[in-house]
Chain A
Amino acid sequence: MNSDTDLTRKQVIHDFREWLKEKRFEGVAGSGEDGVGVRVYIDVKKIDSTTRETIEARGHGIRLTFVEHVGPIRQT
């Protein structure tokens, strides 16, 4: 992958994550980067299929990983 392509990929990922943050979907606790794509943290008890499909559609072309957890992410 050349640097121009890498820059584009980073920008696409950045834009997607900003969009996700602004939307504040119910059941989405946040997102992270795994070096290739984006990991989306979802509370399986709170998210609905429409939200998931909306995220998948917006993230088309990005390697998305839905990281499922039960209940909120808590201070331990």
Chain B
Amino acid sequence: MQSKISDESSIESTFLVPKRVPDVNGIETDVVEVGVIRQWAVNDGNFPRPVPCGVGIAAAFTNAAGTREVGTLGARCVVNNQWAILSNNHVLALNDQLPLGTYIVQDGLGVTPTDVIGQLSNKVPLSEASPNSVDAAIALSGNQYVAGTFSYKLNPTPMTATPYQSVRKDGYMTGTTSGQIVALSANVDITAADGRVFPFEGMIEIQGVGGMPFSAGGDSGSLVVSLPDFRPVAMIVGGSGQLTFASPIQAVMDALSIERFG
């Protein structure tokens, strides 16, 4: 792999990659231009605008303990012909505690006007008494603030999850990870930071590959996509250790009248 492919005639012959490798059965070689390979890891800082998806965001609200609930910018989407960003209710609205219009910042610890990338515009209320199907909210934004880019090229057509399907996500805390869907129709109780318990139904359980967790604290809101075609499948809500639970993406889209991702 080369950061940049140059014309062969401009390269000294001793630096040229041979067409074949004699020591490995004459196997053919190829030179692939990859640009600069960067770490796709946690970046606590402020990304240049427009920010990619998968970065840390939060509501501009600091709780009594002086901390923020930072989650992940799941995806850029279109609602009523307007650009919006998708994440969880518990990330953008702190489980219904914040009003519509609340500023959303990136980085998640941002406190200045230049940190603002959107305003909370809709959320699906969460219930402690009856089962929830999604934990989702959107904030109106603009393409000058958020780009619809990931560590992969998104195919915006959503799909229904199937057992044992391979998936991937870009998240704030654990970056890019791969996993496998191991259960559907999961009914689980998910506990909030303040101790409230929200029952969910119809969730998707995902496990990471190679013994690694698929997600961790801070990855909530991450868009889960299919492999190898990168179609939206689900959005992460919570987890415990090796377990990750996510809402089916079609349910999220229906609940928030999301027209498309982009």
Chain A residues in contact with chain B, CB under 8 A? 17, 21, 29-35, 39, 41, 67, 69-76
Contact = CB atoms under 8 A, between A and B. Distances in A.
Q: Which label, helix, strand, loop or mixed, suits the secondary structure of the A interface?
A: strand
Given A69-B241, A76-B238, A30 B191 contact: no
B182 interface: yes
A35 B191 contact: no
Nearest to A73: B240
B183 A33 contact: yes
B71 to A, nearest CB: 7
22 contacts: A17-B187, A32-B184, A33-B186, A34-B183, A35-B163, A39-B186, A41-B186, A41-B243, A69-B242, A69-B243, A71-B240, A73-B238, A73-B239, A74-B191, A74-B240, A75-B220, A75-B237, A76-B215, A76-B217, A76-B218, A76-B238, A76-B239
Q: Which of A34, A35, A39, A73 has the most CB of B within 10 A?
A: A73
Given A69-B240, A76-B215, A76-B239, A33 B189 contact: no
B243 A75 contact: no
B203 interface: yes
B245 A73 contact: yes
Given A73-B191, A76-B71, A76-B217, A33 B243 contact: no
Contacts of A21: 187
B193 interface: yes
